[in-house]
Structure 1
């Protein structure tokens, strides 16, 4: 509740998209002088949640001017096409590398089906709808979105993915961070202080780029970060320092596990031990089993992302 009050004070509403589990995947509704924008949108199954939030704010579908995507991963953007069909005045804003996938989502579909299989893909995401190219705005670094005079500025932030951008809101002095500023689940809060960890991508994780993107965001002296996973957090400098330290540690763990007989299993074990140590030091209220249950999927994905990075680095070397 504290996090939602923090956001709503600036006309920003945190919306639980319902993806995977409660308080896991957020979209944001930004309201300014009767006009609105969504930042990220979850999956097709999330669209009714977003439309209800709009109604709860006293607004109709015609009030939405923008749907802004941090990147094209389906927990952030899978519902974009279906949502746009219900918003007659909205335009969709996406990174130059992400925009083509919104117009033609077939590569996204193929990639996700290869990971999940057709049955699980249909259950999690449904059928991805394309967005007409005429309704898509390609946002290069520094692109300004005008929401009834409130400027939302886009920043190219690779690291988690090369098609990732974050959005600066001067009004709230906050960044909508997608996955660049890591994950922070409310179940891991201790005495109101957030616990954070980086999130890699099995395809495009680049630790040095992620470090640089975090430093660029700090140049704006932000007071809060609006995370997709999950919700707004303060203490930005502390959390940024934690992320920098952890990214370095994750790289070291990956390099130490490289070349072993079962690299993946060793890396999952090493990451699990590392996050448990940090969680204990932070004073999280869950026991070890609870922490690992909450972070299990993220640990697996971080291990995969680090392995892809190791293999790509080796090919380049």
Structure 2
């Protein structure tokens, strides 16, 4: 964990080291968490608090960028540990935090009960009177520090991003893609790919959300996957170009036999070629291995979008 501008990056421990981050923002002895990982992440979240000399009662906010389980699965269990905190969430995400039955049922149908317990733990409901629904452009006040929350659809319709003027940076959830540190080149420059993820990927809204964040001239982005990255204008333009490339690959695969396998293969080729051009210190096999889960999810997300577009 490290702190800059009162921002602490927390490795939630989900899947592998430096894969899934949450953040703690500290201001005048008060704290706000942004995203929280799964129920299994709670010890890391509380350890981050202790590392900053804060008690759980000094946390005022848990802000969720969206309610996918790797970002929000532990929210209910964490809120039990934070007696004075309010959960702040997108209007479309709030019902799933108050009554997570549909969220749990959908994820269990995909992963199965054993994998749900292993990866995510228990999904605990949150009392409605502890939930604040955030309108687009609403500001969360952390002891005088303004955290601006804006609607950022594209990855999911229940996604928001958080602007922190103090650090001139965004907390981006999944809207600004994935950037794993293993892909940084010899100069330390980050590599990024978009994440579509089933079931609400929309390419044009996603590009618009990226452009909206870039318009703020940020100095950095804080990604859930993973950590703080700079060079944001280059990364943002790279994301937009890749979204267009991914859409073209999806349309090329549409209507073919073995569409999914064809799309997985073409996406793998796209990311391997881009990683090599970037100078990532990885073999093609390592790129494919490290991005295997993300490639599978991106293929699924693109296919759901294709089918919805064709309907």
TM-score range, shorter chain: over 0.9
Equivalent in 59, 71, 74 of residue 69 of structure 2? 74
Aligned ranges 1:120-199 → 2 under 5 Å: 120-190=115-185, 191-199=187-195
The alignment status of 1:34 with 2:29, answered yes or no, reads: yes
The alignment of Structure 1 onto Structure 2 pairs a total of residues equal to 310
TM-score by length of 1: 0.97
CA distance in 2, matches of 1:220, 1:266: 38
CA distance in 2, matches of 1:174, 1:99: 25
Which stretches in structure 2 are left out of the alignment for 5+ residues? Answer: none
CA distance in 1, matches of 2:15, 2:122: 17
1:102-143 per-residue CA deviation (whole Å, 9 max, x = no partner) reads 000011100110010011111111121101000000001001
Which stretches in structure 1 are left out of the alignment for 5+ residues? Answer: none
Q: Secondary structure at the match of 1:145?
A: strand
Q: Secondary structure at the match of 2:179?
A: coil
Equivalent in 199, 204, 223 of residue 200 of structure 2? 204
Equivalent in 5, 15, 24 of residue 10 of structure 1? 5
CA distance in 2, matches of 1:102, 1:9: 30
1:213-240 per-residue CA deviation (whole Å, 9 max, x = no partner) reads 0011112111100000000000010000
CA distance in 2, matches of 1:278, 1:216: 25
CA distance in 1, matches of 2:120, 2:4: 32
1:59-114 per-residue CA deviation (whole Å, 9 max, x = no partner) reads 10110000000000000000000000010100000000001100000111001100
The alignment status of 1:271 with 2:270, answered yes or no, reads: no
TM-score by length of 2: 0.99
Q: Which runs of 4+ in 1 moved over 6 A?
A: none
Which position in structure 1 is the counterpart of 2:253? 257
